[in-house]
Amino acid sequence: MDNASEDRPAIEFRNVSYFLGNGSALLHNLNLEVRRGETLVLLGKSGSGKTTTLKLINRLLTPSAGEVWVDGRSGSQWEVIGLRRRIGYVIQETGLFPHFTVEQNISLIPKIEKWPAVKIQARVRELMQLVALEPELAKRYPRELSGGQRQRVGVARALAADPPFLLMDEPFGALDPLTRSELQREFLALQKRLRKTVVFVTHDVREALLFGTRIALMEAGRLVTIQDKHGFLNSREPLIVAYREAFDTGSSLERCP
């Protein structure tokens, strides 16, 4: 990759708005850059525009105004399928195909890409090890797995074709606290190793500070502010202060890496 590619934003929102058919605005004039290799967290309550922002990146939604640029190209310049194959997508309920086994779910994109069978099998084994799934689970179906195991499969499937970008929409939100904490630690270690460009949606301040290189705080479809961890913890922005107080931050957040 040349220096120009390294220097430009991995993902960029340029004056992006999104309106429903009835004219209601879900996103207002968003200007935002995601740096290559960072984990940018979109933090906000329900209805703040986080998931809408995420879906505009992989063109599950199309901007009503403005442009979303990915890897130096406007969304309109990308062929949709080609764009989505460069973007791993992990959602809260995993979105696994219930009639596919674990290995079939993980290998879906490599098969579509017509990888050789031997390469696919090796990639499935590699990814199962990477996300701490026992080899004997490969032949099981999603209904035969725990919630944590299904979420690990979802992460493995998103990584299967080694995409440079990952979109994660509250991926650990539906898990019990112990499993959630375990998977959070595992993903943090995984990201330090892989250095993907990640956009991560959450409403949880602790999760935002655990994962975020930077935190973009959203409210009512608008970007309020974007801060690194230190800036977020020390900001006097009223909405940030409210979030810190609501989540009883204090010393526990100061220990975030």
pLDDT tens digits for range 163-184: 999 999 998 877 888 888 888 9
Q: Which alpha helices (H) appear in the chain, and where do they start and end?
A: 3-7, 50-57, 80-84, 102-106, 108-112, 117-130, 147-159, 177-194, 205-211, 229-234, 238-246, 251-254
Residues 122 and 114 sit within 8 Å (Cβ to Cβ) = no
Q: Does the structure show a pLDDT above 90 at 254?
A: no
Report the relative pairing of strands 165-169 and 197-202 from DSSP bridges. Answer: parallel
Look at 21 and 219; give whichever has higher pLDDT: 219
245 confidence band (pLDDT: 50, 70, 90)? confident
Q: By C-alpha distance, which of 152, 157, 148 is closest to 103?
A: 157
- Report how far apart, in Å, the C-alpha atoms of 232 and of each of 32, 45, 245 are: 17, 17, 12
CA distance 41 to 225: 12
DSSP assignment letter at 200? E
Amino acid at 160: A
Cα-only R_g, the chain = 18
- The 10s digit of each residue's pLDDT in 135-161 is 999 999 999 999 889 989 999 999 999
Residue with tokens 């957040």: 253
Sign of torsion over alpha carbons 142, 146, 151, 153: negative
Q: What are residue 90's phi and psi, to 5 degrees?
A: -125, 125
Residues 215 and 56 sit within 8 Å (Cβ to Cβ) = no
Residue with tokens 């309106």: 19
CA distance 204 to 210: 10
Instruction: Report the SS3 class of residue 75.
Output: helix
Q: Does the structure show a pLDDT above 80 at 68?
A: yes
pLDDT recorded at residue 247: 76
Residues 43 and 217 sit within 8 Å (Cβ to Cβ) = yes
Q: Does the structure show a pLDDT above 80 at 117?
A: yes
pLDDT recorded at residue 193: 87
190 confidence band (pLDDT: 50, 70, 90)? confident
Instruction: Report the SS3 class of residue 70.
Output: strand
Residue with tokens 């525009």: 49
Residues 201 and 26 sit within 8 Å (Cβ to Cβ) = no
CA distance 96 to 163: 18
CA distance 26 to 128: 37
Out of 3-12, 118-127, 143-152, pick the least confident: 3-12
pLDDT recorded at residue 252: 46
